[in-house]
Amino acid sequence: MYEQEEVWVQEAQAGNKQAFSRLVEAYQRPVYNLTYRMLGNAQEAEDAAQETFLRAYSRLRQYDGAFKFSTWILSIANHHCIDRLRKRRTVQVSIDDNPVLQNLEEESVRPEEDLLDREAAVELQRLVSRLEPEYRTPLILRYWEDHSYEEIAEVMGLTVAAVKSRLFRARKQVAELYRDHQVVMTPPSAGLRNPAPATRTIRKDDPHVAMWRTVLAGA
């Protein structure tokens, strides 16, 4: 995949829009997953994902091939989400007659909606949304997207030590919020669409239980 990705990037840098569309197809889901979990709103997350790809397209010549394209695009998405969280304003992005972004609209990207326990995810999203942006990012990338510390460091422009420190604080804060509000929930799969508040007990057979026990323990 990495070698094919390099080819697509080189072709896109040469002006091939179809090559960039392939990159969009490859990374639309992880980008949307990040924007949704950072912003907590489906429509705003879609706008942010579209803006991320527009910015990436306009900055292709600035891309440094020494880094993975995935971390570069997620870095753009992360910084854009942080700006939105600070300003909380909606940026309308037109994709009419835009072959690069049409597939985002056509597929109505949603993060594994069919696998989601919606009632549980809304509780966790509420907790994560109370964290400062700099603590949301490492938590999302580590526990939802399974990125390494090194990859998260590249996305955030930090050292690995700084990432581990922020991740520790983020887990601790989530655990404290969980205990303070006595939230009972199931671990999430990947996101949700139009959630409705609810609670549910953690299922012992859920494959993500061990992961979220670590998060809630603040370890």
pLDDT in tens, 174-208: 888 877 765 444 444 444 444 443 333 444 444 44
Q: Can you give the residue ranges of every domain in the chain?
A: 1-109, 112-219
Using 50, 70 and 90 to split pLDDT, how confident is the model at 159?
A: very high
Please give the structure tokens belonging to residue 198.
Answer: 């609810």
Nearest residue to 44 (alpha-carbon basis) of 114, 124, 129: 129
What average pLDDT does the segment 110-134 reach? Answer: 66
Per-residue pLDDT reduced to its tens digit, 95-116: 344 444 444 444 444 444 434 4
Three-state DSSP state, 81? helix
Q: Is the pLDDT of residue 156 over 90?
A: yes
Tell me how far apart the alpha carbons of residues 63 and 134 are, in angstroms, rounded to a whole number. 23
CATH hierarchy code of domain 1-109:
1.10.1740.10
Tell me how far apart the alpha carbons of residues 54 and 125 are, in angstroms, rounded to a whole number. 27
Long-range pairs for 151-160: beta carbons < 8 A, 24 or more residues apart: 151/68, 151/70, 151/71, 154/67, 154/68, 154/71, 154/75, 155/71, 155/74, 155/75, 155/78, 156/75, 156/78, 157/75
Domain formed by 112-219, architecture: Orthogonal Bundle (1.10)
What average pLDDT does the segment 40-69 reach? Answer: 91
Tell me how far apart the alpha carbons of residues 214 and 192 are, in angstroms, rounded to a whole number. 22
Question: Which stretch of 9-13, 57-61, 125-129, 177-181 has the lowest confidence by average pLDDT?
Answer: 177-181
Residue 210, Ramachandran bin (φ over 0: left; ψ between -120 and 50: alpha; else beta): alpha
Per-residue pLDDT, 148: 93
Contact criterion met (CB below 8 Å) for 29 and 108: no
